[in-house]
Structure 1
């Protein structure tokens, strides 16, 4: 179907990003509620990311998984590109983590299971590096997790890790060291995320870029006393310098801590 702006009633803004904004919207005929991401072509061109966007939209529109935000379609006019997205009523996981401080084992394991399931699905479709940090994760009506980013080009930069130092927090050694990388980068990010859920901050967070860089390349981090044995075991198996040594995604799904707590 060929969509245009005429098909939608536009509501409140849900978020603002580098290239445009996301609005709550309703499809006029069906009254279906969704999110409309509006990107300005000028800004996309200036940043040289139109190709990236096109490729990512192509990928995203073919993914169908309960823990991946749906992209229903897209259209454009002279000045803008519009992405028709699933609306996630419970908002950003990041806000939730800030509000709670930390998540307990049950909640953390449930999120990790949902994420691992979604990543396993992505990997089976040869889609890698869904950039999984809390800012890119949304919550559906039932509190289920949704991977919401597709491509750095259209990320809504959250108020949070805007500094370069911030963007390092989730990167595995092979990426900060400029080596080639494959789907095993997602396993590293999963470990970082699991740690952050339980502790309230990422494992390699420091004041400076250099310091974080050093900690990541040495895999240098410690646990606060309250972190359970089972979760430490999972995190330790994911945060391995050598990508080949990281616990495979299928093994994450059957890890005792995940199974017992989710």
Structure 2
């Protein structure tokens, strides 16, 4: 389970790059009740999505040169520079060199062997998101990829992430992720091969963040009314919960879930 303990290798941040931060704020406010708190002139336009005064994500307005609108997942690292070098040695890439973010921490944007962007965050004053697992906040992440074994090897090599299989439907296994040395209870995400998900196989590999909600169907209805895209309608996954895959009006993809097990 994802927690704010943020051990090494665990997801500790997500942020949105969008061509219209005001429009995105309106969408996510209508969907989840998020507000947007600008970070000030020194933050270069970066700010914080908040729910009841607690930060649930970051975000900023981006241009065409920054790539398509998207959500980026960040993982905790003890040393952003060492992790960036490890990514290169594992035949990944450094898309944004390690840099200090004032006294808040040090970050880098990397790419895995398939080119999937992700971030690493070396905490300073800012350890990570204020809240996870609760309604309106990050609760799970998934990597969609053509090569599951290679992805598992890469993230183990640079972040120490460990995988294990969970039996789902008869003959189906879901590959979960957890930080090195942690029990299976610490799983925070999964890796899904394209062969197991035709919806995602039509596109490029990417990380998908999930937001916990109390009513998946109501969120889907609101997303449609707010101009979002319903990529996968509300669907029950036995033993998991009721999920839906969405995109905001600018194309940034995310998912929502009402988890079957109570979140603690």
TM-score under structure 1 normalisation?
0.28
Larger radius of gyration: 1
Larger relative strand fraction:
2
Larger relative helix fraction:
1
TM-score under structure 2 normalisation?
0.28
